Amino acid sequence: MPEFRYIAREFSGTQVEGTLTAGNQREALGQLSARGLFPIQIAMAASSAAHRDNKRRRVPARVLSVFYTQLSDLLRAGVPLLRSLDLLIRQTRHVTLKMVLQQARDQVADGTRLAEALRQHPTVFSELTISMIRAGEEGSFLEDALQRIATFTEHQEELKGRVIGAMAYPAFLVAVGSLILIAMLIFFVPKFEPLFDKMREEGTLPWATTALLTLSSFLQSNGWLGLVAVPLSIIAARKHFSNESGRRRLDELRLKIFGVGNVIRSLAIARFCRVLGTLLHNGVPILDSLRIAKDATGNRVLSEAIATAADRVSSGRSLAQPLSECRHFPLDVIEMISVGEEANNLEMVLITIADKMERQTNRQLDLTVRLLEPLMLVIMAGVILFVLLALMLPIFNSSSTMWNARRILGSCVGRVCQNLFPPHPVRHTAVQFFSVLR
């Protein structure tokens, strides 16, 4: 807990200074009042300010994965939780993680559960991690839950590395191509505008060229708006999605993204089935298991749907029927859950569903990652092709017009030469020359 430095007066008027430990400034004021002191000044101590700054920092996923694995191994070997935390605090070299573990260890020593102690550091431990640790504590399988979190974290980092590796080359091309495109629109395209003025007045300018010239004019006059709008949009989006309703809308949007939404839904359902099956296997009642496992999805929309299903299960209905009504679970998963309930083997069926969905999702992710690079290249090629066509179409049209005019002029002059001049080799040569122009 943070420390506060205070300056206060006693009833006698004597000024005193000191430090105290409290959860927040209000609690510190309450402690001073209980001591009969009148606070004059109170502020967080420098060391606690450093704690607060460290809480805002993030810990790399690879460091967290090692921590989860080591804690799981220690607990599985029979080492008590407090002793395991002490050992990991001494071993870790990451300053932020060391500080966070020290605070969590102190809270656990005071009787707080590990999940609740880690929940105080949302920038380090995700909601999914807290939910799975909580499920492990409730079901007495904390070692398996920590190992599952470590595996999931490693898989997430591996997937992120594959996506970044697949996107590195296309992203470089898009970045360089975008800079070149913007430079062309601002400095190069305006030089063509005088050539197209006559066609614009006649109404024969192609729509692609008109759109390109309009965009070029906008960037020249209002290009600075983009430099201001992009960071402001990012800040506004982060603020909008920082509260509970915004996070729910973001989770709902993730499920609707074409191609990616199905992957996110499948992974969330697989986590839910695995946690629920493990809880049931360890003897936790189904209502308590549903209450804990719904948070393991990592998606608020799915968690609300599962919570609604849990309420209907409490009224005596089976689990498969309310899950099918929420329209987020695939039909084959619903059918397998229904069969598992009828055969009184639901926990094993849920684990089987989780394994199957994870295998299918991994194959789908591999395919999606492989398609990212050619998709980005096709998009970039399409943009470049549009710019080239927008600049070349008026030139092609004007060349065709000049060619038709030359044919008409050649035909007229040839006929005049044939009718006005007498037969002569010179006349014959002139007629043939202008005939070629036709």
Burial class (CB in 10 A: 0-12, 13-18, 19+), 94: middle
Dist. CA 241–CA 300, nearest whole Å: 13
pLDDT values of the chain reduced to their tens digit, one per residue, 438 residues: 566 777 887 777 677 787 777 766 667 777 777 777 777 777 655 444 444 544 456 888 889 999 999 999 999 999 999 999 999 999 888 888 998 898 888 888 888 889 888 888 888 888 778 878 888 887 788 898 898 888 878 877 877 777 677 777 777 877 887 888 888 888 877 877 777 777 777 777 788 888 888 888 887 777 677 678 778 888 888 887 777 788 888 888 888 887 778 888 888 888 888 888 887 887 778 887 888 788 778 788 888 888 888 888 876 678 888 888 878 888 888 999 888 888 888 889 998 998 888 888 888 877 777 777 788 778 888 888 888 888 777 777 665 554 554 454 455 445 544 554 455 554 455 445 445 444
Q: Where are the domains of the chain?
A: 3-54, 59-154, 408-437
How is residue 404 written in tokens?
């038709």
Can you list the alpha helix ranges (DSSP code H) found in 184-206? 197-202
Distance of CA 306 to the CA centre of its chain: 23
Instruction: Give pLDDT, residue 405.
Output: 44
Sign of the dihedral through C-alpha 118, 120, 126, 132: positive
**β 38-44/3-9 pair status:** antiparallel
Q: Give the sheet arrangement for strand 3-9, strand by strand.
A: 15-21, 3-9, 38-44
The one-letter amino acid at 15: Q
Cα angle, residue 331 at apex, residues 328 and 337 outer, rounded to 5°: 95
CATH architecture, domain defined by 59-154? Up-down Bundle (1.20)
3-class DSSP state of 59 = coil
How is residue 146 written in tokens?
């920590």
Can you list the alpha helix ranges (DSSP code H) found in 203-330? 207-240, 244-256, 260-281, 286-293, 300-314, 320-325
Dist. CA 12–CA 304, nearest whole Å: 58
Sign of the dihedral through C-alpha 126, 130, 131, 135: positive
Instruction: Give pLDDT, residue 75.
Output: 92
